[in-house]
Amino acid sequence: MYKCPVCEQNIDEGKSNNAAGSSRINCPVCGYFIITGNSEWFLKTSLEKLKVTNKILSGILRNRFERGIENILTINNLEEIVNSEVIPKDPLDKIEHIFIALYNGINEEGNIKFNISNNLNMVYCNNEAFKKYFDILVGQELVGYNSEHIIPTIPTFKGYEKFEKLKAQKPQTNRAFVAMRFSDEYNEMYKNGIEEALEECGYEKPFRVDMKEHNGKIDDEIISMINQSSLLIADFSEDRGGIYFEAGYAMGRKTPVIFTCKEGNTDNLHFDTRQYNHIVWKTPEDLKEQLINRIKATVQI
């Protein structure tokens, strides 16, 4: 009998070690993930530094696992994985998050299967809060109790309608939008760094707006491009207000944003973006390699 190093759930099987000191964990709560020996040892200290609890990390790993993202947990990428998920903060976001998790769990019989013991971490709340938020969804006729008046429960017509509308808000294309300063100085970085990384990760040719300046307002063309994108890459090597607008707009739509900056220029980053984990690159080739790793680690492809 083993314990999961993240959620401490007892696991009967699925833990195996290799010669490199890594453990393969198959946890009913966190999902399948790989963790290096050193990471397992220093996990508690590292999470304390990031001000993240084991429960939050468990939910992050499980949500990534459910989206088909391979979780390889190391000391070096723990912060990257933590920052890869948007954790719902206010009640409305939490209710919507729970609603989406419920409808993503509909089985072939048309019933919602949500095991509180194993799935509660996915919605980042405790049992009491979940039941309160769930009752709100019932009151809105977005879900309904089954005949035993317990969870798992049943979907409703209004719930299906809302779920389809929420899915429609998410871009279905495999395009990325690049927000950066387009100039001769950065052409090589774009072509041999960003464009090649996106192509290798399976993305189509990215959207880009060359030399497009906008003073305090994003024009309709840029908004349309971002709305059609499933990923935004924002390079802050040069201080351009438009890049902040574009990245902020994408984040408001919950579109994944990857932040990059050329080595030596990080002191110019505004205070409101310094909190995000930037890829600091030296050469286009260096940017390409780091960008590929970041996309594979944080974005469903």
Quick check: 84 and 64 in contact, CB under 8 A?
yes
Q: Is the pLDDT of residue 188 over 50?
A: yes
Strand-by-strand arrangement of the 72-73 sheet: 16-17, 22-27, 31-36, 72-73
Q: Is the pLDDT of residue 189 over 90?
A: yes
Q: For the segment 282-299, what is each residue's pLDDT rounded down to a tens digit?
A: 999 999 999 998 888 777
> Which stretches of the chain are assigned E, i.e. beta strand?
2-3, 10-11, 16-17, 22-27, 31-36, 72-73, 143-144, 154-155, 176-179, 207-208, 231-235, 257-262, 279-281
Catalogue all structural domains in the chain, each as residue range(s) with its CATH number: 2-82 (no CATH), 91-169 (1.10.10), 176-298 (3.40.50.10140)
Q: What confidence category does residue 215 fall into, taking pLDDT thresholds of 50, 70 and 90?
A: very low
The model carries a pTM of 0.61
Mean pLDDT rounded to a whole number for the chain: 83
User: What is the mean pLDDT of the segment spanning 247-271?
Assistant: 86
Instruction: Tell which residue, 148, 58, 59, 160, has the closest CA to residue 106.
Output: 160
Cα–Cα dist 67/59, whole Å: 12
Instruction: Tell which residue, 156, 132, 133, 136, has the closest CA to residue 144.
Output: 156
